[in-house]
Amino acid sequence: MDTGITKAVILAGGRGTRLRPLTNYLPKPLIPVLNRPFLEYTIAYLHKNSIDDIVLATGYLPEVVEHYLGDGSGLGVRLSYSVEKEPLGTAGAVKNAEKYLSGTFVVLNGDTFTDFNIAEMLAFHHDRKSRATIALTRVDNASAFGVVSTDGDGKIRGFTEKPVSGQITACWINAGIYLLEPDILRLVPPDRYCMFENETFPLLLQLNKSVCGYPFNGYLMDIGTPEKYLQLNIDLLQSKTKSAFIAEQLGRSGILCGKGVVVHDTAGITGPVVIADGCDIGKEVRIKGSVVIGRNCHISEGAIIEESVLWNNVTVGADVNLKRCVVTDDTLIESNRRISNSVITKSDGEVRL
């Protein structure tokens, strides 16, 4: 789909503090979702919309991200890197990437999965001659978020940060996806922390510039916590939203196995389940979807795994029972354990979701 936009900025610079302990091992953009780095999904989504010139605004372990993704040619895009020496905020990070930008461009958070229609949002943006258009999503309880108030034509009239109960006048919130005209970056000071949400956008309103809110009701998941990260994997397996890589491969069985996977005759697997290369599924193991298993994992006799994500080189001992867990690389889970609703790591042990 050709949207008419050629440039995108992905904000991938944060340390992912709320996502610890997962980000103790990998930068947030590279955390695996269905055994592929999360950022690949955002890049593939942009590529599908004919947006192939992408700037990654990075800060935490930028060399690791660049080493993995390179120039983007393997994903059919052109990647540039804008590195923050210190955290610059959403607007500051885009200002830091200003030399790469021209014409209308899209900004997305590097920890958000969405299926919104960029072409429709762009038509909305141009029709209203907006300088900045903010994607809005509806929530039942807006008290934990910044509320955005609009008029009947979609023009934003104001922002209310985390209103207390009884003061909520709207339930549309900022979804963290923006269409912007490059001239607004003149309002963003260089080399300092600055946020679109509470500085640049309110300033645009003060200057009587057109700022619009585009409501959409599609899928939106911020993987800012381990619980939400797990839920995204489950939602993709259950086709609650479309994956750029795996939906059709699961087929009717709902089971996708990589190369060299050995499954004992007495093991039982109920999809949706994705198992990467080189795994060994032992005698009388029960895997009950939704489950993701990374490369070279060993699941020992009698183990039961439900609604969980295992990264690479994980060993699950005999008669272990895992439910709603995330297990990071190189972790050994000793036999006869019963663990639920936890992140399990090699060095940190168990941390509740």
- Residues designated as active site: 162
Q: Could you tell me the CA-to-CA distances from 190 to 89, 186, 187 in Å, in that order?
A: 11, 9, 9
Residues contacting 349, CB < 8 A, separation 6+:
none
HSE-CB at 30 with a 13 A cutoff on CA atoms is 19
Is residue 113 a contact partner of residue 232, using CB atoms and an 8 Å limit? yes
User: How is residue 229 written in tokens?
Assistant: 């990260």
Closest CA to 11 of 177, 174, 135: 177
Is residue 328 a contact partner of residue 343, using CB atoms and an 8 Å limit? yes
Q: What are the backbone angles phi and psi of residue 266, rounded to the nearest 5°? A: -90, -5
Per-position b or e across 90-126, b if 16+ CB within 10 A of its CB = bbbbbbbbbebbeebbbbbbbbbbbebbbeebbebbe
